[in-house]
């Protein structure tokens, strides 16, 4: 393999994919059509799927670019029914409080087309709950805190890639965001440098699932040319 030295570090030759313009057009259109079919699904079946699939999804998510390549994330996978039940109970307690008193009327109106409420059965039903933690800092050999870089950006990108990898495997997920989320670190006994970022239940969709009839913004509403 061809290598090059930069600042005393080895760089390896990048193996680019080469496509004709016609192939690029075809591939980008096909990718868009495929990813446009991804939906957040809240009714997840209790049917299991091979754990190796999830491991590969996590490896794919973990290829995300990150600040100084620190990969500041931990994917916690919960399949243990007792832990899932604890997470559901704690999450529903916070969600109930949010829906009943913390969220504004406008916010709740905005959620009406989606139909969410404080009940979160998917937290127990889905075969796997993935709780994504951001790693705010690492500890050096003397136990000194070393901050990571662009942690929210990095973990957000990894989450997006995780969601795409789930779709690619023919499974479904949703981004569950109980607030506040610190109960997750307590239940899972996570170290002090980790903060819960997102809960992603993963599984097959239930047999007869309906999702909101959402339309996505056209290009001219999301893209400006200069
Ligand atoms: N945190 C709640 C409520 C919720 C908020 C938004 I913004 C949504 O798009 C959907 C739900 C939850 O995770 O259900």
CA of 59 relative to ligand 1 center, distance in Å: 27
Question: Per residue in 122-148, pLDDT tens?
Answer: 999 999 999 999 999 999 999 999 999
- Beta strands (DSSP E) in the chain are 3-6, 9-12, 73-78, 128-135, 137-139, 145-147, 172-173, 194-203
- pTM given for the model: 0.96
- Taking phi over 0 as left and psi of -120 to 50 as alpha, with beta for the rest, 43 belongs to beta
Give burial (CB, 10 Å; 0-12/13-18/19+) of 126. Answer: buried
Question: Per residue in 22-49, pLDDT tens?
Answer: 999 999 999 999 999 999 999 999 999 9
Q: Which of 116, 183, 198 to mutate to test the pocket of ligand 1 (most atoms within 8 A of CB)?
A: 116
For ligand 1, atom 8: residue with the closest CA: 111
Question: Per residue in 193-225, pLDDT tens?
Answer: 999 999 999 999 999 999 999 999 999 999 999
CA of 54 relative to ligand 1 center, distance in Å: 24
**What does 97-162 look like in DSSP terms, one character per residue?**
HIIIIIS-HHHHHHHTTTT--S--THHHHSSEEEEEEEE-EEE-TTS-EEE-SSHHHHHHHHHHHH
Mean pLDDT of 93-101: 96
């Amino acid at each position: 393999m061809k290598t090059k030295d930069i600042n005393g570090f080895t760089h390896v030759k990048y193996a680019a994919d080469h496509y004709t313009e016609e192939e690029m057009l075809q591939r980008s259109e096909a990718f868009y059509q495929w990813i446009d079919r991804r939906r957040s699904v809240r009714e997840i079946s209790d049917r299991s799927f091979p754990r190796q699939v999830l491991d590969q999804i996590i490896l794919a998510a973990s290829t995300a670019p990150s600040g100084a390549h620190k990969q500041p994330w931990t994917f916690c996978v919960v399949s243990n029914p007792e832990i899932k039940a604890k997470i559901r109970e704690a999450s529903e307690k916070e969600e109930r409080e949010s829906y009943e008193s913390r969220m504004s009327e406008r916010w709740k109106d905005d959620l009406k087309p989606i139909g969410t409420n404080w009940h979160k059965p998917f937290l127990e039903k889905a075969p796997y709950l993935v709780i994504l933690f951001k790693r705010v800092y690492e500890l050096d050999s003397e136990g000194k805190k070393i901050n990571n870089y662009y942690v929210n950006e990095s973990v957000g990108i990894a989450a997006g890639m995780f969601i795409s990898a789930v779709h690619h495997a023919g499974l479904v997920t949703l981004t569950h965001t109980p607030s506040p989320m610190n109960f997750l670190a307590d239940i899972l006994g996570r170290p002090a440098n980790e903060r819960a970022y997102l809960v992603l239940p993963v599984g097959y969709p239930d047999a007869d699932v309906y999702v909101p009839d959402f339309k996505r913004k056209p290009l001219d509403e999301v893209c400006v040319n200069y």
